[in-house]
Chains A and B, each alone.
Chain A
């Protein structure tokens, strides 16, 4: 009986915090999603059932935002993973002396230490038609006329995805660095004894050992990226012409620009459902691997 109680004792601070500060607001948002006339209205809310959901799910703009968000999230997760792992491996190389490592490590985490709004401002400056990137391209004869990285419909989504990858990979890198330290040396030595090449060691030792971290990071990053708001909003505002419209910017506009708070809550619930789907997949995977 007592044994049953111990884990809950350890969990109690977490559960308390989440019950009060997460559950109540989420339940409120869920309630809003079933109502009409909330927040910005003088009339009382009325219960409308699922009609907000029908309205949102049949809205073309929502579907486009969903597609853009999936693109941003999936490409970002892959980009973060590749860059984070490559940089972690580079920094983990045994041939480097500690001081070189320390210097590069600090340089590599630089994109991570700035608040999203300043990253947006910085990249707007860099990618401006008269900015440094276009200048470099013009003096190196890569392009004749300035490229409108953020204000062209064809490029904007790729550009904001690139910025998001730039801003987020250090988080993976730091986690992988810690993870790489945790891989027992015996595994590599045993591999070498068996005559494994560097690539094989990477494939059969490093990757499987990092797998739990990779899966956790990937899932969390996917969820976080679907929430990415400030970076998108302050670089393109969801434009040009909805080219970079995300679920987050779409929701924000519904809530604070068109005063449709019920519909905004409904999109929030749809995003919650999507993220939960990913989370269920993750928890399943974890249970299987622990068995």
Chain B
């Protein structure tokens, strides 16, 4: 009897030891992103704590940096084999990282985990494989300053380009330092090309691409939008300083009531309210060309997510992605980020409780998400090259034909 007891005890001890060893094999996932500092303090960490509670044995180490340098940090990390397991991505970077071979094929991870991808609102694919999943999306509708509109005698928000141009002209009052529109063309952050320029093309159902290649020359969609903006520029209804203005400056101009209309991220709604509670503003869709009644493309930027190709914990990394994409968590994240969810079954709280977001959600639902730069090679550089030529054109040193031909040539050099 005692013999058995000893054997039993030994077996038990062995089991505990093995079990302990298994439990002790904790996995630490590094998650490099710029989201934590963008969100209310502690909010993102709280989500990670929830993930850790659901997945014992996995801890998440958040590696947070400023947005403006995140891409460079990932490039350097990938080049030296120190890339984090999970990375936050912007759609403009995906192609470059895939070229570098630093992102894992998420399609493979999804099928390995038997994940049903029908819940995902979007997947960014290259050569048929998914490399990035947008976790939350920030759409860019038009913000209008209602008080300035009223003072200028404009009754309804503009729905067509002609109405927009008229409204911008009426809103502009240089003596009082008020302008109709604001256009950020900083070369440091050339995303104005995507959000404030090309968005006009997409809003009218147009495209800057054809068969996966740039199509800027002899493209009525592009040239009409460009000429439209040039018209606004020449009419002097765009706020001064456009050539070095950034998105962050644009929103300050609007918040201070010096700009009647701007194309801007929904992420700014709360910021504008907080910084100027008295500002009376509304949200509307980007105007289209006269007579266009198809669905309107709505520019957007995403917080996307990807997994490192050389991560030793891809399985665990996928669990984190799946966690962030699950309907409940995705709802929470989009609520605190003031963004639209990446899970089709998520509905952020603010859509129901907030009038402005409800209006934006309607704009969002009647249109479609459009950002043709996502997934293109050296996307940020494409915007910058276009930006330089565009500034030259606006400044009057280049004709429309030369401008588009030069931009097309510059772009083509990045496509093989």
CB distance from B414 to the nearest CB of A (A): 7
Kindly state whether residue A129 has any CB partner on chain B within 8 Å.
yes
Given the known A-B contacts A42-B100, A233-B188, A259-B378, are A241 and B75 also in contact in the complex, defined by CB atoms under 8 Å? no
B50-95 interface (Cβ within 8 A of A): 71-72, 75, 79
Kindly state whether residue A41 has any CB partner on chain B within 8 Å.
yes
Determine if B414 and A258 form an interchain contact, defined as CB atoms under 8 angstroms apart: yes
Determine if B244 and A240 form an interchain contact, defined as CB atoms under 8 angstroms apart: yes
CB distance from A72 to the nearest CB of B (A): 17
Give Cα A129–Cα B239 distance, bound, in whole angstroms. Answer: 9
Closest to B413 in A: A258
The contact of B241 among A148, A153, A234, by CB within 8 Å, is: A148
A34-49 interface (Cβ within 8 A of B): 39-42
* Complex interface bits, A140-180 against B, C-beta within 8 A gives 1, otherwise 0: 00000110101111001000000000000000000000000
B169-198 interface (Cβ within 8 A of A): 174, 177, 185-190
* Complex interface bits, A111-136 against B, C-beta within 8 A gives 1, otherwise 0: 00000000000001000111000000
Kindly state whether residue A84 has any CB partner on chain B within 8 Å.
no
Given the known A-B contacts A150-B244, A253-B381, are A239 and B75 also in contact in the complex, defined by CB atoms under 8 Å? no
Q: How many residues of B contact A (CB 8 A)?
A: 38
CB distance from A12 to the nearest CB of B (A): 29
The contact of A253 among B384, B395, B397, by CB within 8 Å, is: B384
The contact of A239 among B71, B100, B380, B388, by CB within 8 Å, is: B388
Determine if A239 and B99 form an interchain contact, defined as CB atoms under 8 angstroms apart: no
Give Cα A148–Cα B75 distance, bound, in whole angstroms. Answer: 35
The residues of A that contact B79 with a CB separation of less than 8 Å are 39-40
| A39, A41, A129, A242 interface centre (most CB from chain B within 10 Å) | A129
Kindly state whether residue B37 has any CB partner on chain A within 8 Å.
no
Determine if A151 and B384 form an interchain contact, defined as CB atoms under 8 angstroms apart: no
CB distance from B403 to the nearest CB of A (A): 11
Kindly state whether residue A257 has any CB partner on chain B within 8 Å.
yes
B127-174 interface (Cβ within 8 A of A): 174
The contact of A130 among B72, B177, B380, B392, by CB within 8 Å, is: B177
The residues of A that contact B190 with a CB separation of less than 8 Å are 237
Determine if B258 and A257 form an interchain contact, defined as CB atoms under 8 angstroms apart: no
Determine if B186 and A237 form an interchain contact, defined as CB atoms under 8 angstroms apart: yes
The residues of B that contact A240 with a CB separation of less than 8 Å are 185, 187, 243-244, 391, 395
* Complex interface bits, B235-260 against A, C-beta within 8 A gives 1, otherwise 0: 00001111111000100010010100
Kindly state whether residue A256 has any CB partner on chain B within 8 Å.
yes
Determine if A236 and B99 form an interchain contact, defined as CB atoms under 8 angstroms apart: no
Given the known A-B contacts A130-B258, A241-B388, are A236 and B187 also in contact in the complex, defined by CB atoms under 8 Å? yes
Determine if B188 and A234 form an interchain contact, defined as CB atoms under 8 angstroms apart: yes
Give Cα A151–Cα B242 distance, bound, in whole angstroms. Answer: 7
Give Cα A242–Cα B79 distance, bound, in whole angstroms. Answer: 29
The contact of B243 among A41, A146, A151, by CB within 8 Å, is: A151
Kindly state whether residue B101 has any CB partner on chain A within 8 Å.
yes
The residues of A that contact B388 with a CB separation of less than 8 Å are 239, 241-242
Determine if B381 and A150 form an interchain contact, defined as CB atoms under 8 angstroms apart: no
Closest to A235 in B: B244
The contact of B244 among A41, A237, A242, A253, by CB within 8 Å, is: A237
Determine if B395 and A153 form an interchain contact, defined as CB atoms under 8 angstroms apart: yes
| B79, B186, B190, B249 interface centre (most CB from chain A within 10 Å) | B186
Give Cα A148–Cα B414 distance, bound, in whole angstroms. Answer: 33
A225-274 interface (Cβ within 8 A of B): 233-242, 253, 256-259
The contact of B100 among A41, A145, A151, A241, by CB within 8 Å, is: A41
Give Cα A257–Cα B384 distance, bound, in whole angstroms. Answer: 9
The contact of A151 among B174, B241, B256, by CB within 8 Å, is: B241
Determine if B258 and A236 form an interchain contact, defined as CB atoms under 8 angstroms apart: no
Determine if A237 and B177 form an interchain contact, defined as CB atoms under 8 angstroms apart: no
CB distance from A234 to the nearest CB of B (A): 7
The residues of B that contact A258 with a CB separation of less than 8 Å are 378, 381, 414
Determine if A150 and B187 form an interchain contact, defined as CB atoms under 8 angstroms apart: no
CB distance from A148 to the nearest CB of B (A): 6
B375-391 interface (Cβ within 8 A of A): 378, 380-381, 384, 387-388, 391
Determine if B244 and A236 form an interchain contact, defined as CB atoms under 8 angstroms apart: yes
Give Cα A259–Cα B244 distance, bound, in whole angstroms. Answer: 24
CB distance from B96 to the nearest CB of A (A): 6
The residues of B that contact A129 with a CB separation of less than 8 Å are 239-241
The residues of A that contact B71 with a CB separation of less than 8 Å are 256
The residues of B that contact A256 with a CB separation of less than 8 Å are 71-72, 75
* Complex interface bits, A95-111 against B, C-beta within 8 A gives 1, otherwise 0: 00000000000000000
Given the known A-B contacts A39-B75, A42-B101, A130-B177, are A241 and B245 also in contact in the complex, defined by CB atoms under 8 Å? no
The residues of A that contact B240 with a CB separation of less than 8 Å are 129, 146, 148, 151
Determine if A259 and B391 form an interchain contact, defined as CB atoms under 8 angstroms apart: no
- The 4 A-B pairs of least Cβ separation, nearest first, read A237-B188, A237-B187, A240-B243, A151-B243
